[in-house]
């Protein structure tokens, strides 16, 4: 299955994008919904919170009094750690259950407000950021959600910055316009990138690659390479001695074809073959000798070539010692 991480600042319109993707057939795993579910009345999570913080965090109907909990849980680092120690494992367990229940050919959209803040981007096949200017988001929060302006500003300030979210974005959806303008862009994303990406990932087939002419240097290549390298590092762990952006796109200001060249140097005692399945599982299957991609890359002795299954980001991955 294909795992998409979806996030954006408060008021950016993330829920709208999630709704459209769900209507197109995505399986939505909503972190906010799960966080409420694991502390619902009668749950083990709510009982654990009451035992840790006292029964006065419960409302008259037995549900969680969130302001009362917040007053206690955020009073100190120790209390916050206690809260996280109770809720995070429960959220993680329920998230894993929902993902495991999705079909093998599914596109799972994980709606995670704090995806960037919690460093979860490398665990996704693709990260989609819904972007809107801070003042636009502020206006929406005040006008449509009825949030006090000072409170809205404080909440926005507590989240990742726009620059931090954009650095994590494989796809940046501009939602500064009027309601409904983003819809067509989301449908294109589904049809032109997510559907073929899922198919390629499932069948372990490198994405079809049109002939790419040499183009002017793109400063985004470096950020794109960093995101690819972060995913590879998660998959390879200690079996990779180094993972480096190489080739023409790694040279500042140099015109090049729009293909990222990444090299994994395996650790001592590890072979390139040992990483074959792990790389294929995250979307970098080996390239067959008769694939046109193989003609683009000159390999050294003992090196193996893999390529990305994402039709929106061409990557040549060279694995060797």
Each residue's pLDDT tens digit, 223-266 = 999 999 999 999 999 999 999 999 999 999 999 999 999 999 99
Question: What pLDDT is stored for residue 70 in this prediction?
Answer: 86
* Model pLDDT, residue 178: 86
Which residues are CB-contacts of 275 (< 8 A; sequence separation ≥ 6)?
235, 236, 239, 240, 264, 266, 319
15 marked as part of a ligand binding site: yes
- Assigned architecture for domain 220-320: 2-Layer Sandwich (3.30)
Q: What's the pLDDT tens digit per position in 295-313?
A: 889 898 889 999 999 999 9
Q: Which of 180, 167, 177, 206 is nearest to 307 (CA)?
A: 206
Is 11 flagged in the annotation as binding? yes
pLDDT at 148: 86
CA 22 vs. chain centroid, Å, equals 17
pLDDT of 158 higher than 90: no
63 is in an annotated binding site: no
Residue spans of the domains in the chain: they are: 1-26+106-203, 35-100, 220-320
More confident residue, 305 or 74: 305
pLDDT higher than 90, residue 144: no
The whole-number average pLDDT for the span 88-97 is 95
268 labeled binding residue: no
pLDDT (mean) for 67-87: 90
Distant-in-sequence, close-in-space partners of 124: CB < 8 Å, separation ≥ 6: 3, 4, 5, 110, 115, 231
The residue-averaged pLDDT of 29-43 equals 95
Is the pLDDT at 157 greater than 90, yes or no? no
pLDDT at 156: 87
Q: What is the pTM (predicted TM-score) of this model?
A: 0.91
pLDDT at site 73: 87
Per the annotation, does 13 bind a ligand?
yes
Number of CB atoms found within 10 A of residue 159's CB = 18
What is the arithmetic mean of pLDDT over 148-171?
Answer: 90
Q: Are 156 and 9 in contact (CB under 8 A)?
A: yes
> What mean pLDDT, rounded, does the chain reach?
94
Q: Summarize the confidence of residues 10-35 as an average pLDDT.
A: 95
pLDDT at residue number 301: 86
Average pLDDT over every residue of 70-87: 90
**Residue 54 pLDDT > 90:** yes
What is the average pLDDT across 190-214?
95
Using DSSP's 3-state secondary structure scheme, residue 111 falls into strand
Q: Within 13 Å of residue 151, how many CA atoms lie on the same side as its CB?
A: 6
Band of the pLDDT at 41, cuts 50, 70, 90?
very high
Domain covering 1-26+106-203, topology: Rossmann fold (3.40.50)
Contact 125, 20 (CB under 8 A): no
Q: How confident is the model at residue 77 (pLDDT cuts 50, 70, 90)?
A: confident
Same fold for the domain at 1-26+106-203 and the one at 220-320? no
82 annotated as a binding-site residue? no
Provide the 8-state DSSP code for 250.
G
Helix, strand, coil percentages in the chain from 3-state DSSP, rounded to 5: 50, 15, 35
Neighbours of 66 (CB within 10 A): 13
Task: Report the alpha-carbon distance of residue 224 to residue 169 in Å, rounded.
Answer: 9
Q: Cα angle at 93 between 124 and 126, to 5 degrees?
A: 10
């Amino acid at each position: 299955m294909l795992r998409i991480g979806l996030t954006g600042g408060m008021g950016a319109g993330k829920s709208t994008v999630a709704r459209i993707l769900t209507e197109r057939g995505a399986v939505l795993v909503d972190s906010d919904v799960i966080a409420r579910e694991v502390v619902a009345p009668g749950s083990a999570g709510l009982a654990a919170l009451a035992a840790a913080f006292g029964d006065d965090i419960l409302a008259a109907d037995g549900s969680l009094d969130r302001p009362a909990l917040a007053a206690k849980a955020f009073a100190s680092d120790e209390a916050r750690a206690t809260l996280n120690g109770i809720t995070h494992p429960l959220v993680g367990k329920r998230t894993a259950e929902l993902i495991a229940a999705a079909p093998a050919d599914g596109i799972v959209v994980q709606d995670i407000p704090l995806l960037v803040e919690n460093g979860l981007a490398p665990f996704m096949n693709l990260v989609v950021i819904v972007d809107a200017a801070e003042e636009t988001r502020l206006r929406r929060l005040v006008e449509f959600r009825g949030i006090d302006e000072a409170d809205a500003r404080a909440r926005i300030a507590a989240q990742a910055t726009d620059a931090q979210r954009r650095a994590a974005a494989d796809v940046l959806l501009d939602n500064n316009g009027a309601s409904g303008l983003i819809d067509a862009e989301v449908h294109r994303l589904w049809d032109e990138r997510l559907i073929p990406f899922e198919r390629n990932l499932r069948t372990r087939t490198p994405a079809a690659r049109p002939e790419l002419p040499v183009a002017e240097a793109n400063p985004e290549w470096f950020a794109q390479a960093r995101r690819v390298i972060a995913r590879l590092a998660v998959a390879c762990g200690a079996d990779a001695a180094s993972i480096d952006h190489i080739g023409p796109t790694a040279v500042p200001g140099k015109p090049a074809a729009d293909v990222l060249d990444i090299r994994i140097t395996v650790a001592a005692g590890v072979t390139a073959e040992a990483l074959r399945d792990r790389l294929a599982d995250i979307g970098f299957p080996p390239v067959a000798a008769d694939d046109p991609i193989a003609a683009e890359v000159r390999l050294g002795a003992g090196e193996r070539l893999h390529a990305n299954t994402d039709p929106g980001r061409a990557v040549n991955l060279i694995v060797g010692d």
